[in-house]
Structure 1
Amino acid sequence: MSAAIIINAINLQFSRFAPLVVFIFGVPGNIFNILIFTRPNLIKNPCSTYFFCSSLANLNVLFFGLIPRSLADGFGIDPVSNNLAFCRFRYFMVHPSVVLSSWFTILAGIDRYCISSRDVHRRQLSNLKYSRYISAITTFIGFAIYSHLLGLFVMQQLKTGPYCYALVGPYRVFYDFLYFATFSFTPPIIMIILGLLTYHNVRQTRSHIAPVVTNNTNAGQLKRRDRQLLKMTCIQFICVIILTLPIAVQKLYSTFTQNVVKGATQVAIESFITILLRVFVYINASTSFYV
């Protein structure tokens, strides 16, 4: 039995079972997040708005991204490649949502940076009204910059069968660079910078994080809640950086080597790597509740 056949068999089993595990944990986790961040003691915290929006985006990724991809890779049932309209709709739901999930995490980090500052004016930027406006504007921009795919994603015939993706040529290169820049390159850089700046703020204030929300709860509880949200944001930063960068690099590699003749074993290996990195993206959309 050749190496390619063995690797393809592994690919098939991995494609069937790994996404199922991610889905089982990811969907309830994001639903619990939505319930938690809409509780009375958290709904007025600006950071909760961003995590709430991120959870909605993650559910989009899991339902419109994970399920069709799992059916196609693991069971040979591909509703996307048989229907151009659904193909475009699916990508329009998935790719902006994947990107928005990362950017809402960045916005949560900016909020934590502001709330951890010793500057009272900077702390006032952590504001519920601002967070709702910013979330709405970010969502609009996220979908707007990917709207061109509704007309430029097409059916293409590959050796393995019909495949729906960006039009071959300059547009595909542009699209993969756009995806790389908005999803896997710019967000990690901003997250690293925000993490360092917030760490500097925390050290300056000797771990004293001033609360923005004022109600009948005592100040100590508010400080503790802000610290918990700060910790959650930092862990989310790490998860996003580790789990999202590889897939964009793989997409660029795939685009630039699409005309290169490859052996069966190399194709099988690259297919496995692609499937694995896709699962990483779905894991990223599933972890926030568990951190």
Structure 2
Amino acid sequence: MSSTSLIKNAVTALYQYYGIPLLVFGCVGNVLNLLIFIRSQLKKNPCSTYFFYSSIANLNVIFLGLLSRILSDGFGIDPSSYNLGYCRFRYFILHSSMVLSSWFTILASVDRYCVSSKSARRRQLSSLKTSRFLVCSTTVIVLILYSHVWGLFTIEQLKTGPSCYAEAGFYRVFYDFFYFATFSFTPPVMMTIVGLGTFYNVHQSHTRVNPTDTNARKVDQLKKRDRQLIKMLLVQVTFTISLTLPLAIQKLYSTFTQNFVKSTYQQAVETLVTQVVRLLAFTNNSISFYL
């Protein structure tokens, strides 16, 4: 068996033996997240609003991204390669949801930064009204930004068979950079900046005097819940950056080398790398409950 065939078999095995368990754990974890964040103790917390809608976006990614890849690369079943309507619908919802999931995490990070601040004015920015407005406005903006997918994605005939993606030429280069900017680059950078600011605020809060009266203890209990959400968020931000950054690097490499002449073996290796970093990105949408 040739090296190229071995690599193709490795891609198939990757989705069958890693993708399927990831699909199951991702579905269960995100559904449990939804149940947790609608509890009365948490549903009034603005940060929970962002986590709740992030979990919905994650489920979209799991079903339209991970499940579709398992069927196409693991079992050779790909409706998006012959149905143009489904091709455009899938990428519109998939990429919009991946972007929304990351940006909801950014908004949660900003919310925790405000809550952890010593400034009363900044703490007032954290409210249910603000979180609901930002969720709605962010969703509308992202859907509008990705609306061009409906008209400019197509089914292209490749040597390996039909494939659904952005039209070849200028639009494909534009789309890869656009996707890179909105998902793979800007969110990790912003998460890092806001996360460091939140970490600094939490560190500074440790110097505050412990409460002694009953009312102060109640306030402190609320702050403890906020601190738990902050810790959970910082862990999630770390994993998000680690799991999505490889996709950013791969996207840039693919865009800059798309016109290079490559051997069959090199193409197979690049396909394997692409599938690995893609699975890492799907992992990010599947593990938040288990962190």
Could you state the TM-score of these two structures normalised by the residue count of structure 2?
A: 0.94
Aligned AA for 2:229?
L
> Contact conserved, 1:7 with 1:269, CA < 8 A, in 2?
yes
Q: What's the CA shift for 1:249?
A: 2.2
* Gaps in structure 2 of 5+ consecutive residues: none
> Contact conserved, 1:115 with 1:209, CA < 8 A, in 2?
no
Q: Give the Cα–Cα distance (whole angstroms) in 2 for the partners of residues 207 and 265 of structure 1.
A: 59
Counterpart for residue 120 of structure 2: 120
* Gaps in structure 1 of 5+ consecutive residues: none
> Contact conserved, 1:176 with 1:248, CA < 8 A, in 2?
no
Q: Give the Cα–Cα distance (whole angstroms) in 2 for the partners of residues 219 and 90 of structure 1.
A: 46
Q: What's the CA shift for 1:251?
A: 2.2
> Contact conserved, 1:118 with 1:201, CA < 8 A, in 2?
yes
Aligned AA for 1:175?
Y
Q: What's the CA shift for 1:187?
A: 0.7
Counterpart for residue 108 of structure 2: 108
Q: What's the CA shift for 1:103?
A: 0.5
Counterpart for residue 176 of structure 1: 176
Matches within 5 A, 1:49-60: 49-60=49-60
> Contact conserved, 1:68 with 1:78, CA < 8 A, in 2?
yes
Matches within 5 A, 1:146-161: 146-161=146-161
Aligned AA for 1:97?
S
Aligned AA for 2:76?
G
Q: Give the Cα–Cα distance (whole angstroms) in 2 for the partners of residues 195 and 152 of structure 1.
A: 36
Count of aligned positions: 286
Could you state the TM-score of these two structures normalised by the residue count of structure 1?
A: 0.94
Q: Give the Cα–Cα distance (whole angstroms) in 1 for the partners of residues 87 and 207 of structure 2.
A: 49
> Contact conserved, 1:117 with 1:209, CA < 8 A, in 2?
no
Q: Give the Cα–Cα distance (whole angstroms) in 1 for the partners of residues 171 and 114 of structure 2.
A: 39
Counterpart for residue 37 of structure 1: 37
Q: Give the Cα–Cα distance (whole angstroms) in 2 for the partners of residues 151 and 91 of structure 1.
A: 12
Is 251-260 or 191-200 further displaced after alignment? Answer: 251-260
Counterpart for residue 144 of structure 1: 144
Counterpart for residue 240 of structure 1: 240
Runs of 4 or more off by more than 4 Å in structure 1? 207-210
Q: Give the Cα–Cα distance (whole angstroms) in 2 for the partners of residues 23 and 207 of structure 1.
A: 43
Counterpart for residue 46 of structure 1: 46
Q: Give the Cα–Cα distance (whole angstroms) in 1 for the partners of residues 4 and 160 of structure 2.
A: 15
Q: Give the Cα–Cα distance (whole angstroms) in 2 for the partners of residues 16 and 29 of structure 1.
A: 20
Is 71-80 or 245-254 further displaced after alignment? Answer: 245-254
Q: What's the CA shift for 1:200?
A: 1.8
Q: Give the Cα–Cα distance (whole angstroms) in 2 for the partners of residues 258 and 209 of structure 1.
A: 59
